[in-house]
Amino acid sequence: MITRFLWQGMGPSLRVAVLFVLAIGIILPLLNQLMPASNALYVPAWVLQLIGKYLCFASLALAVDLVWGFCGILTLGHAAFFALGGYCMGMYLMRQIGSRGQYGNPLLPDFMVFLNYKELPWFWHGFDQFWFAAIMIVLVPSLLALALGWFAFRSRVTGVYLSIITQAMTFALMLAFFRNDMGLGGNNGMTDFKDILGFSVQSDATRATLCFASALVLAIFLVISAAVVGSRFGKALTAVRDAESRMRFLGYRVEGYKLFVFVLSAAMAGIAGALYVPQVGIINPSEFSPGNSIEAVLWVAVGGRGTLIGPVIGAFLVNWGKTYLTGALPEVWLFALGALFIAVTLFLPKGVVGLWSQIRSRGTTRKAKVPA
């Protein structure tokens, strides 16, 4: 019944999008597993890995869009939540290595042996259990978002100030995680993972499953976001975006709305990061770098902010372009990325998704109203 309610709450194009994402997540892994390698329809494992990565990025983009596109909070620190989720997963994966590390220590991961740790730091306890790690993946980013959001929204820090605060947050976290005595691997981060839930991370079957899980998670996020955005709560959220002071005068507790959506979005980013780490096989502090967060914002801007399909399309487009260009013309990539930022903000304020309506409305209205 709930499913049906959710299903009816979505627009037709979103339904197609959800089905399409699920189809990718089911068909590609199946083709990889069932087809012989000689068959034309066989999907090699590296494609699965790539698609899985894009799906995680799409989830992150969706999380950014939820706060930026629908609530007007331009966050420049969402990669921090993504990376925190990734680190929680990384800690679980490190504990799974057990005594198979280079130094063969059953309790301590390699980098701790290397740095002369005598015992496991307190915050590493529990991460040998998947259920604990799973809780932390959601909890750690959410709590950080809750703390930051509570402080920021309560004292009405808005607009660019909030953007700069979030950027400073991810910058501070990056500096912190680069330190060796954080007990989280320092600048090398964590890598050399072996098992996840007892299955080898390297095997094709695991990769196929992870790709499917990423698609499933993205589909669920789309459904949840649609439910949030389509509800009365979502209407109020959009109103906060467009006229915050007016909403406050009307008697709405604006802080509560913002805080809820910010925490929800941080949790989504954390889960996306957790799925990302086993697929790329490494997590290190550079994931916190401010540039990553801004790039995630660009995916949303390219796809179309304030729509739910936009971020997914944007994440796939930009990342496909990045994979292609960094391979073919590495010099050009940063030029292209920079130009994309400028072009999208100047010419495509509604993104690729809004392109059609932008062309259609050119004759009738001169300027499209854009959420700033």
Partner 1 sequence: MFFLRLLTGVSSALAVVLITATAWAADLQTLVTNLTTGGFGDREKAISELVASGEARAAPILEALAAGQLYVRKADNVVVIGKADGNKLALSEAVSGKPAGSGTEAELDRVRVNNRLRGVIEAAVGSLTLMSPDARVRRDAADSLFKRPDPTALGALDAAIAAEKDARIKTAFQEARAAVVLTSDASKQDKLAALEVVRDKGNRDALSVLQAAINSQSDPEVKAAATAAAASVRQTLAGWEAAQNVWYGISLGSVLLLAAIGLAITFGTMGVINMAHGEMVMLGAYTTFVVQDIIRTSFPHLFDASLLIALPLAFLVAGVVGIAIERGIIRFLYGRPLDTLLATWGLSLVLQQAVRSIFGPSNREVGAPAFMSGAFQLGQLTITYGRLWIVVFSLLVFATLILVLRKTPLGLYMRAVTQNRPMASAMGIRTPRVDALTFGLGSGIAGLAGVALSQIDNVSPNLGQGYIIDSFMVVVFGGVGNLFGTLVGATALGIVNKFLEPYAGAVLGKILVLVFIILFIQRRPRGLFALKGRSVE
Rounded Cα distance between 229 and 142, Å, is 19
156 belongs to the binding site for partner 1 (CB under 8 A): yes
SS3 assignment, position 190: strand
Nearer to partner 1, 190 or 296 (CB): 296
355 belongs to the binding site for partner 1 (CB under 8 A): no
155 belongs to the binding site for partner 1 (CB under 8 A): yes
Q: Which stretch, 59-67, 229-237, 270-278, 329-337, contacts partner 1 (CB under 8 A)?
A: 329-337
SS3 assignment, position 363: coil
161 belongs to the binding site for partner 1 (CB under 8 A): yes
Task: List the interface residues with partner 1, window 120-149 (CB under 8 A).
Answer: 148
Q: How many CA atoms lie within 13 A of 199 on its CB side?
A: 12
Q: How far is the CB of 239 from partner 1 (least distance, A)?
A: 18
Nearer to partner 1, 189 or 278 (CB): 189
Rounded Cα distance between 370 and 297, Å, is 16
Q: How far is the CB of 176 from partner 1 (least distance, A)?
A: 5
Q: How far is the CB of 153 from partner 1 (least distance, A)?
A: 10
337 belongs to the binding site for partner 1 (CB under 8 A): yes
Q: Which stretch, 24-32, 34-42, 80-88, 155-163, contacts partner 1 (CB under 8 A)?
A: 155-163
Q: Which of 213, 199, 205 is nearest to 25 (CA)?
A: 213
- The sign one gets for the Cα dihedral 185, 170, 339, 313 is positive
Q: How far is the CB of 371 from partner 1 (least distance, A)?
A: 9
Binding test (CB under 8 A) with partner 1, winner from 41, 175, 205, 368:
175
7 belongs to the binding site for partner 1 (CB under 8 A): no
Would you give the binding string for partner 1 spanning residues 60-99, x where CB under 8 A is met? --------------x-x-----------------------
Q: Where does the chain show beta strands of DSSP type E?
A: 190-191, 195-196, 199-200, 282-283
Q: Where does 244-285 show beta strands of DSSP type E?
A: 282-283
The answer to whether 247 and 236 have CB atoms below 8 angstroms apart is yes
Binding test (CB under 8 A) with partner 1, winner from 335, 355, 357, 368:
335
**Six-digit token string for 128:** 């040998």
As a dihedral over the C-alpha atoms of residue 280, residue 112, residue 141, residue 81, rounded to 10 degrees, the angle is: -40
The answer to whether 306 and 371 have CB atoms below 8 angstroms apart is yes
Binding test (CB under 8 A) with partner 1, winner from 84, 97, 228, 344:
344
The answer to whether 172 and 293 have CB atoms below 8 angstroms apart is no
Q: Which stretch, 80-88, 134-142, 210-218, 330-338, contacts partner 1 (CB under 8 A)?
A: 330-338
151 belongs to the binding site for partner 1 (CB under 8 A): yes
Q: How far is the CB of 338 from partner 1 (least distance, A)?
A: 4
Rounded Cα distance between 307 and 354, Å, is 9
240 belongs to the binding site for partner 1 (CB under 8 A): no
320 belongs to the binding site for partner 1 (CB under 8 A): no
Binding test (CB under 8 A) with partner 1, winner from 342, 364, 366, 367:
342
The answer to whether 54 and 299 have CB atoms below 8 angstroms apart is no
Q: How far is the CB of 148 from partner 1 (least distance, A)?
A: 8
Helix (H) or strand (E) holding 55: helix 45-68
Q: Which residues, including other chains, have CB under 8 Å from residue 306's CB and lie 6 or more apart?
A: 65, 69, 70, 350, 371
As a dihedral over the C-alpha atoms of residue 156, residue 66, residue 88, residue 212, rounded to 10 degrees, the angle is: 180
Provide the binding-site residues for partner 1, judged by CB under 8 A. 74, 76, 148, 151-152, 154-157, 159-161, 163-165, 167-169, 171-172, 175-176, 178-179, 290, 294, 297-298, 301, 331, 334-335, 337-342, 344-346, 349, 370, 372
